[in-house]
Amino acid sequence: MTKMPKPLSHSGRAMGCSSSPHNPSSSSHLSFFLLLFMSLSLFCPCNGQNSLSQGQVLRDGETLVSSMGTFELGFFSPGNSTLRFVGIWYRDISVESVVWVANRENPLSDKNGVLTIGSNGSLVILDGSNSSVWSSSNSSSSSSQFTNSTAILMDTGNLILYPTEDTNDSSGSLWQSLQHPTDTYLPSMRVRVNSAMGENRAFTSWKSDSDPSRGNYSMGVDPRGTPQIVIWEGSIRRWRSGHWNGLIFLGVPNMTANYLYGFRLSSVESDGSTYFTYTPLNTSDLLRFRISWEGREEMLRWDATGNEWTILQSEPVNECEKYNWCGDFGICNIKKSPNICSCMDGFTPKYAEEWKKGNWTGGCVRKTELGCGKNTSSSLEEGGGDGFLEIEGVKLPDFADIGSAKNANDCEANCLNNCSCYAFSYLSTVGCFVWSGDLIDVQHFESGGRTLFVRVAGSELASRKISTILIIVLVVIGSFLFCVSLWLLWRFKEDVKACSILCCGSRKNELPLFDISNSITEPSSELSGQYDLEAKQVNGPDLPLFNFNAVATATNNFSEQNKLGQGGFGPVYKGKLPGGQEIAVKRLSRKSGQGLEEFKNELVLIAKLQHRNLVRLLGYCIKGEEKMLIYEYMPNRSLDKFLFTDQSKQNQLDWRKRFQIIEGVARGLLYLHRDSRLRIIHRDLKASNILLDEEMNPKISDFGMARIFGGNQDEANTTRVVGTYGYMSPEYAMEGLFSIKSDVYSFGVLLLEIVSGRRNIGFRSPEQSNLIGQAWQLWNEGKVMELVDPSIASSCLRDEVKRCIHVGMLCVQDSAAQRPTMSSVILLLESEAASLPLPRQPTFTSKRSDIDSDHYFDENDVNVSLNNASITRVVGR
């Protein structure tokens, strides 16, 4: 590795930018200046100049140093090469890390080169015979003469050329190195995304470690559909990040938020173009992306203690990540190694022999031609009788178009009616993705994938149904045999209880696989018809049915010590299965008449929901009057315990955690409102219904009151108002009207509670009776930071907190129409640049007194406890 020249180091001429440009060859002057600079350097070790003025000359061996000393510019030889290049590298780290090269195609063969500003005002590199090998502008026609141009090396690694000596006005720059990147994407650099201008291959790899000239690989943005990061080899795609949904790239499974690995990625709008940019969360981190000469995208962070660059992320990591590894209509799943490729349902390998040998490049073809467009009887049907098969958890195919559709149903219908539409996928933040060609580069993810609907001929759908039925029949027979053997086992062993517990416990990790739950029945003789009946009543979701005795044993016979709390419909117990897995058991109280209704509701709902921010249902249990829901256990219990109890608990939630909780809840809610195929309104969002796992990730729980909405339904009216004081929106509390916007209201209240660490009601300040009122008042007085929980005052980011409160205020506006949707909430929360609309004053306060004096209120139908428990009341109309 070649040593980087350091300013003021051994080399006699390394003296920062020469300050005697008019007499560079005078050796007596030189030694005089050398002495001068060396003595100066004793007092100021950071004494490299950061700018080069017109007329000054930077020789090989001399360097410019940015003002804080992060970056250095000068001549260097990469790797084993002896050729000389002008580049920019990190100054204070021991590993050669060049981030930009000027003359990558035209190296100098000796050390006689200089960097200077030519008479026409451009930066130029001249070789020993004064001929130009590189210039910052390649048009020689420009007549404008800038006689005072100045180049300045910034601490962002940007070399900026200004037309005058005034280097304060960045808009007036003539040229910037960050706008002409080589292989490295530095923080604060902006990568243009402009669909009209097509692909932007901003970065080109080096040829090798020792040769910075243009290599075979490039990296940049493809704006089609929504932007994606792509790596090309020549013009062939080698990797892509998947589509940008406004926050993340959908094809990078580790990217669960727009900040990860210590940086935050965002898109900004400017002069009609969108740009990607990223910033380190910790400003002292050195971060960079680059396209390596071997064609890999790498995200690097400098590890000062280990003295090396840590590779945080590198793509492609495996064969499945490689572009279209399984060919068209194939799906790659790395977990199935070595047979990682399979065809989509309804498709078969194009070259069966090659496919078997593991040569998947041929891809797959349809088993049955589509009905659409064919001149057959079926073509009279809508969409030619075609239908869609669902593929879950995938990286969506390349070359998507954004169709116009208001919701998932529209999206499906539009695709069905268009014979050239081969697949669709509806994403709430983006809309309706449609594909009208072969489905290319589809990969299966363990988590974080999206759902793709692939068009197949109607007959494929039918045959698939038949095979599903076959499987079900087989499973039923299998379960029957299993049941019989269980029964035999029971006949010969007394220890049935343990066995049945084992059965419940053993399937804890993989559900819903298939429904053998009906076979895990009670071994008692009164294996009742009633029992079966009830199981059917709840529509038997694909979830394990737990044995009552097993649950009783797990919860220590529902002992007081195991009781976690009291929910709206009954107590919740902690339990432990024989396998060691901890569970939470919600036992519906026998008295509550509504119980079965809510029970069915919750069961059917949650069984279909899968989201990181929703609590996971493990199974259920029904025996006679007893109805129970078995959930994963959340060691950190609920959010209200942290927010509202004591100082020490509050301290455990610093601002970052709180913000993550806010974002998590927002995502969970967005999933309920838009992303899940059902449209669900929770109706009882509150701090005590937000559970926290061991890493303090929030999970929304308690769907007992949730309602499913039809695709086009926006609002409903109920005569039974359920919810919790303080979280109910005005239109819901007063008129029984609910919509997704009533959940948004509850979210707004929750958000303000998380920021302030105080309950909306039950909180009293001298002037205002509730938190919303106080928030509004402080907001108006410009003292909004006074609302912030004192225990996070030190850890919080002021701007982020302010934005949160602002969003909270928007969510609790009286008018449902003016409240943002959850997708806007997420965008507003996470984009620093977005300008927020001004909130209107919230006047409604769902104080206890308001509701009590409400004449609709029927005392007899209420189970009320202030603040915490949910209420149910009947509105007589």
Ligand X SMILES: *[C@@H]1O[C@H](CO)[C@@H](O)[C@H](O)[C@H]1NC(C)=O
Report the interface residues with ligand X, using CB under 6 A.
79-80, 118, 120, 122, 124, 129-130, 132, 135, 137-140, 142, 147-148, 164-166, 168, 209-210, 215-216, 254, 282, 284, 293, 313, 317, 351, 354, 359, 361-362
> Whose Cβ is closer to ligand X: residue 192's or residue 508's?
192
CB 761 within 8 A of CB 725: yes
The residue type of 450 is R
> Whose Cβ is closer to ligand X: residue 354's or residue 693's?
354
Annotation says 684 is catalytic: yes
> Whose Cβ is closer to ligand X: residue 140's or residue 853's?
140
CB of 15 to ligand X, least distance (A): 19
CA–CA distance, 744 with 670 (Å, rounded to integer): 10
Residue bearing tokens 């990469």: 78
> Among candidates 831, 747, 755, 668, which has minimal Cα distance to 258?
831
CB of 44 to ligand X, least distance (A): 19
Which stretches of 344-441 are assigned E, i.e. beta strand? 347-349, 364-366, 387-395, 401-403, 423-427, 431-435
CA–CA distance, 754 with 805 (Å, rounded to integer): 10
Which whole-number Å values give the CA distances from 827 to 17, 674, 837, 840, 870, in the listed order? 46, 15, 13, 20, 30
CA–CA distance, 61 with 596 (Å, rounded to integer): 82
> Whose Cβ is closer to ligand X: residue 89's or residue 763's?
89
CA–CA distance, 692 with 451 (Å, rounded to integer): 27
> Whose Cβ is closer to ligand X: residue 106's or residue 409's?
106
> Whose Cβ is closer to ligand X: residue 92's or residue 714's?
92
Which residue among 684, 702, 743, 789 is the active-site one?
Answer: 684
CB of 413 to ligand X, least distance (A): 36
The string over 732-745, giving b where at least 16 C-beta atoms fall within 10 Å of a residue's C-beta and e elsewhere, is: bbbebbbbbbbbbb
CA–CA distance, 357 with 351 (Å, rounded to integer): 10
CA–CA distance, 685 with 665 (Å, rounded to integer): 10
CB 118 within 8 A of CB 95: no
CB of 359 to ligand X, least distance (A): 4
CB of 158 to ligand X, least distance (A): 15
Q: What is the dihedral of CA 628, 634, 636, 637, to 10 degrees?
A: -20
User: What are the backbone dihedrals phi and psi of residue 317, each rounded to the nearest 5 degrees, phi first?
Assistant: -85, -30
CB of 155 to ligand X, least distance (A): 14
CB 422 within 8 A of CB 433: no
Q: Tokens representing 475?
A: 């499973």
CB 771 within 8 A of CB 778: no
Return the bridge partners of 206, or none: 214
> Whose Cβ is closer to ligand X: residue 201's or residue 374's?
201
> Whose Cβ is closer to ligand X: residue 170's or residue 713's?
170
CB of 611 to ligand X, least distance (A): 19
> Whose Cβ is closer to ligand X: residue 362's or residue 595's?
362
CA–CA distance, 259 with 248 (Å, rounded to integer): 9
The string over 335-350, giving b where at least 16 C-beta atoms fall within 10 Å of a residue's C-beta and e elsewhere, is: eeeeebbbbbbbbebb
CB of 86 to ligand X, least distance (A): 15
* Region for 378 from its dihedrals, namely left if φ exceeds 0, alpha if ψ lies in -120 to 50, beta otherwise: alpha
Q: What is the dihedral of CA 547, 548, 549, 550, to 10 degrees?
A: 50
CB 567 within 8 A of CB 575: no
CB of 17 to ligand X, least distance (A): 16
Residue bearing tokens 């009946």: 533
CB of 23 to ligand X, least distance (A): 10
CB of 645 to ligand X, least distance (A): 27
Query: DSSP letter string over 682-726?
Result: -S---GGGEEE-TT--EEE---TT-EEE-TT--EEE-SEEEE-TT
> Whose Cβ is closer to ligand X: residue 124's or residue 871's?
124
> Whose Cβ is closer to ligand X: residue 163's or residue 437's?
163
CA–CA distance, 486 with 240 (Å, rounded to integer): 51
The catalytic residue positions are 684
